[in-house]
Amino acid sequence: MSTRAAPKPLGQTQWWRLRDEQAFVEVSVSESVHLLSLALANADADFILVWVERKAGEVTIQDRTIENWVVHSVASSQSIIRAGLRTISVIWTANRAILFAPEEHLADAQDAIMRFTLLEKRTRGLELDIAAMWPDLVKHIPLLHAVSPSDLKKQDEVNQATEKAHHMVLTQIRADNEFQQLAQHLAPTSKRLFAELCHQTQLEKRLEAISVPIDNAVDHYETINYRMVDERHAHTGKWIEILIVVVLLAELALNLFEHFNLFGSIR
Could you report the per-residue pLDDT of 24-55, keeping only the tens digit for each?
A: 444 443 434 444 445 444 545 577 888 887 76
Region 64-72: mean pLDDT is 69
- Hey, which residues does 92 pair with through a beta bridge? 81, 97
pTM over 0.85: no
In a domain, 88, yes or no: yes
Query: Which pLDDT does position 33 carry in this prediction?
Result: 45
Radius of gyration of the chain (CA): 32
Q: Are strands 47-53 and 25-30 parallel, antiparallel or unpaired?
A: unpaired
Residues 43 and 129 in one domain: no
Whether residue 43 is found in the same domain as residue 145: no
Strands (E), 93-140: 96-101
Q: Is residue 114 part of a domain?
A: no
Higher-confidence position of 243 and 99: 99
Task: Assess whether 40 and 143 both reside in one domain.
Answer: no
Average pLDDT across the chain, whole number:
77
Question: Does the residue 82 lie in any domain?
Answer: yes
**Cα torsion 130, 133, 138, 144: sign:** negative
Integer Cα distance of 153 and 149 in angstroms: 8
Rounded to the nearest 5°, which phi and psi values hold at 251? -65, -40
Please check whether residues 152 and 57 belong to one and the same domain: no
Instruction: Please say if the pLDDT value at position 200 is more than 60.
Output: yes
165 and 213, same structural domain? yes
Q: Where does the chain show beta strands of DSSP type E?
A: 13-18, 25-30, 47-53, 81-84, 89-92, 96-101
> Which strands make up the sheet holding 96-101, listed edge to edge?
25-30, 13-18, 47-53, 96-101, 89-92, 81-84
Does residue 37 sit within a domain? yes
Are residues 138 and 94 part of one domain?
Answer: no
Does some domain include residue 226? yes
Q: Do 88 and 132 belong to one domain?
A: no
Structurally, how many domains does the chain consist of? 2
- The residue ranges of DSSP E strands in 85-231, in sequence order, are 89-92, 96-101
**Same-domain check for residues 143 and 66:** no
Helix 203-266 crosses helix 188-200 at what angle (to 10 degrees)?
Answer: 80
DSSP lists the bridge partners of residue 99 as 51, 90
Query: Do 203 and 237 share a domain, yes or no?
Result: yes
Is 154 inside a domain boundary?
Answer: yes
125 & 243 share domain: yes
For residues 97 and 129, state if they share a domain: no
Same domain for 28 and 60?
yes
Instruction: Specify the long-range contacts of residues 147-156, CB closer than 8 Å, at least 24 apart.
Output: 147/224, 147/227, 147/228, 147/230, 147/231, 148/231, 149/231, 149/235, 151/228, 151/231, 152/228, 152/231, 152/232, 152/235, 155/228
List Cα–Cα distances, 231 to 78, 126, 138, 147, 238, in angstroms: 46, 32, 21, 6, 10
Task: Look up the domain containing 136 and give its range.
Answer: 119-255
| Residue 252 reports pLDDT greater than 80 | no
Q: What is the sign of the dihedral through the CA atoms of 128, 208, 184 and 56?
A: positive
Q: Find the range with the poorest average confidence among 115-119, 141-145, 188-192.
A: 141-145
Mind listing the pLDDT tens digit for each residue in 69-116? Answer: 677 666 656 788 888 888 898 989 888 888 888 888 988 998 999 899
